[in-house]
Amino acid sequence: MLPAPIFRILPEGILLITGIIITLVEPVLPKNASRKPLGWLAVVGSLLTIAASQMQMRLPAGMSYFGTVQSDDFSAFFHILIAGIVLVTLLVTLDTVPPDTESLGEYFALVCFGAVGMLLMTSAVELLLVFIGLEISSISTYIMAGFRRKSAKGPEAAIKYFLLGSFATAFFLYGIALIFGATGTTHIPEIATKLTSSPTPILATIGVTMVLIGLGFKVSAAPFQVWTRGIPSKRSL
């Protein structure tokens, strides 16, 4: 018997529901109340995500949702890895950040939402779904970059990251458009088979290059890591 399609995206669904619950509960709590219980809720969501990902390893590899999502050992491994990193991040935050920190509950929700985008990217076999997952993760990190609103560096970092991230998104989207024009599909396995037989190989090569450039900017991979360097102070000059 084939597993229900929901099991193919169960880890993403758990973290998404966790983030939504935190978002809804945080404004209801008294202003002076500690937000650390919301962090522990996020920790529980991360543990459940790891358990769901381990369950996916026992499922037969397959696709669902019209062939846009694939669950196999590869995606399950990265689900566990990402959820484990989120778990460690949350535990470190709970141990080091004061409980009266402003909008701490929003931070826990943003961590969950950002992880949802990363999980989607690892199981997506459609370039458009990869783009959606990338943007879900990016929007969360844009906000977290400017989370320290009382510091001038926070909003500045968020604006710079947003502008450069939008620039990278344009590269990524235009690359997808060129790949679709060269192969007639955005399905990654079909693209792999059609790239060598494309009537316009130069167009396909440019499209793949632009997608890689967009991803390189997003993750600050060399040689696109230069923009992540801070402006040196006068003392260091």
pLDDT tens per residue across span 97-141 = 876 677 788 889 999 999 999 999 999 889 999 999 989 998 888
Residue 98, judged by CB atoms within 10 A of its CB (0-12, 13-18, 19+), counts as: exposed
The pTM of the full predicted model, rounded to 2 decimals, is: 0.84
pLDDT at 4 over 80: no
Helix, strand, coil percent values for the chain (each to nearest 5)? 70, 5, 25
Highest-pLDDT range among 12-16, 211-215, 230-234:
12-16
pLDDT of 141? 87
pLDDT band with cut points at 50, 70 and 90 for residue 233: very low
pLDDT tens per residue across span 154-201 = 788 788 888 888 888 898 999 999 999 888 888 888 888 888 777 878
pLDDT at 2 over 60: no
Percent of the chain with pLDDT over 70: 91
User: What is the three-class DSSP state of 187?
Assistant: strand
Secondary structure letter of residue 101 according to DSSP:
-
User: What is the three-class DSSP state of 124?
Assistant: strand
pLDDT of 99? 66
Half-sphere exposure of 14 (CA within 13 A, CB side): 20
pLDDT tens per residue across span 21-34 = 999 998 888 888 88
